[in-house]
Structure 1
Amino acid sequence: MKDTATIKKMIEELKGLKTQNMYLNDFFHTWKESDDEVAATFAVAEILRAMREQNISSKVFDSGLGISIFRDNSTRTRFSFASACNMLGLEVQDLDEKTSQIAHGETVRETANMVSFMADVIGIRDDMYIGKGHTYMKEVADAVQEGYEDGVLEQRPTLVNLQCDIDHPTQSMADMLHVINHFGGVENLKGKKVAMTWAYSPSYGKPLSVPQGIIGLFTRFGMDVVLAHPEGYNVMSEVEEIAQENAKKSGGSYKRVNSMEEAFQDADIVYPKSWAPFAVMEERTQLVGEGKFDELKDLEKRCLVNNANFKDWECTEELMAKTKDGKALYMHCLPADITGVSCKEGEVEASVFDRYRVPLYKEASFKPYIIAAMIFLAKFNNPAAKLAELVDAETNRIK
Structure 2
Amino acid sequence: MDAQLKKLLDQLQTLDYSKMYNDDFLHTWDKTTDELKALYLVADALRNLRERNISTRIFQSGLAVSNFRDNSTRTRFSFASGSNLLGLQLQDLDEAKSQIAHGETVRETATMISFMADVIGIRDDKFIGEGDEYMQKVADSVDQSWRGGILDHRPTLVSLQSDSDHPTQSSADILHLIHEFGGIENLKGKKVAVTWAYSPSYGKPLSCPQSLITLLPRFGMDVTLAYPEGYDLMPDLVQKGKDYSAETASTFKISHDMGEAFEGADVVIPKSWAAYAGMEQRTELYSEGDTKGIDELEKKLLAENAAHKDWCCTTDLMKKTAHGSDTIYMHPLPADINVVSCEHGEVENDVFDSHRVGLYQEASNKPYAVAAMIFLQKVKDPVATLAALEEADTRRWYQL
Match for residue 309 of structure 1 among 307, 310, 318: 307
Whichever residue aligns with residue 269 of structure 2, its letter is Y
Aligned residues, how many?
397
Whichever residue aligns with residue 345 of structure 1, its letter is H
Looking at structure 2, the residues matched to 316 and 54 of structure 1 have their Cα atoms a distance apart, in angstroms, of 39
Partner of 2:374: 375
Superposition pairs for residues 135-284 of structure 1, below 5 Å? 135-284=133-282
Q: Does 1:348 align with 2:354?
A: no
Looking at structure 2, the residues matched to 9 and 317 of structure 1 have their Cα atoms a distance apart, in angstroms, of 39
Superposition pairs for residues 50-65 of structure 1, below 5 Å? 50-65=48-63
Superposition pairs for residues 92-111 of structure 1, below 5 Å? 92-111=90-109
Partner of 1:329: 328
Give the drift of 1:8. Answer: 2.4
Report SS of the residue matched to 2:96: coil
CA RMSD, 1 decimal: 0.8
Q: String of CA shifts for 1:50-89, please: whole Å, max 9, x gaps.
A: 0011111100000000000000000000000000000000
Partner of 2:78: 80
Looking at structure 1, the residues matched to 54 and 247 of structure 2 have their Cα atoms a distance apart, in angstroms, of 39
Give the drift of 1:12. Answer: 2.4
Looking at structure 2, the residues matched to 338 and 348 of structure 1 have their Cα atoms a distance apart, in angstroms, of 5
Report SS of the residue matched to 1:39: helix
Whichever residue aligns with residue 16 of structure 1, its letter is T
- 4+ aligned runs moved over 2 Å, structure 1: none
Partner of 1:33: 31
- TM-score normalised by length of structure 2: 0.98
Looking at structure 2, the residues matched to 192 and 9 of structure 1 have their Cα atoms a distance apart, in angstroms, of 24
Match for residue 292 of structure 1 among 287, 290, 293: 290
Partner of 2:115: 117
Give the drift of 1:23. Answer: 0.4
Partner of 1:318: 316
Give the drift of 1:9. Answer: 2.9
Looking at structure 2, the residues matched to 252 and 392 of structure 1 have their Cα atoms a distance apart, in angstroms, of 42
Whichever residue aligns with residue 372 of structure 1, its letter is A
Give the drift of 1:187. Answer: 1.7
Whichever residue aligns with residue 138 of structure 2, its letter is V
Unaligned runs of 5+ in 2: none
Report SS of the residue matched to 2:353: helix
Looking at structure 1, the residues matched to 274 and 7 of structure 2 have their Cα atoms a distance apart, in angstroms, of 44
Give the drift of 1:15. Answer: 1.4
Q: Does 1:66 align with 2:67?
A: no
1:193/1:224 contact within 8 Å kept: yes
Give the drift of 1:4. Answer: 1.8
Whichever residue aligns with residue 231 of structure 1, its letter is E
1:195/1:227 contact within 8 Å kept: yes
In percent, how many aligned pairs have the same letter? 58
1:233/1:277 contact within 8 Å kept: yes
Whichever residue aligns with residue 159 of structure 1, its letter is L
Whichever residue aligns with residue 20 of structure 2, its letter is M
1:4/1:54 contact within 8 Å kept: no
Report SS of the residue matched to 2:352: helix
Looking at structure 2, the residues matched to 115 and 31 of structure 1 have their Cα atoms a distance apart, in angstroms, of 28
Give the drift of 1:270. Answer: 0.3
- TM-score normalised by length of structure 1: 0.99
Partner of 1:396: 395
Q: Which stretch has the larger CA shift, 323-332 or 103-112? A: 323-332
Report SS of the residue matched to 1:47: helix
Whichever residue aligns with residue 339 of structure 2, its letter is G
Report SS of the residue matched to 2:55: coil
Report SS of the residue matched to 2:157: strand
Give the drift of 1:325. Answer: 2.7
Whichever residue aligns with residue 28 of structure 1, its letter is L
Looking at structure 2, the residues matched to 269 and 12 of structure 1 have their Cα atoms a distance apart, in angstroms, of 29
Looking at structure 1, the residues matched to 248 and 175 of structure 2 have their Cα atoms a distance apart, in angstroms, of 18
Looking at structure 1, the residues matched to 392 and 137 of structure 2 have their Cα atoms a distance apart, in angstroms, of 40
Report SS of the residue matched to 1:201: coil
Whichever residue aligns with residue 254 of structure 1, its letter is F
Give the drift of 1:330. Answer: 0.3
1:332/1:360 contact within 8 Å kept: yes
Report SS of the residue matched to 1:225: strand
Whichever residue aligns with residue 366 of structure 1, its letter is N
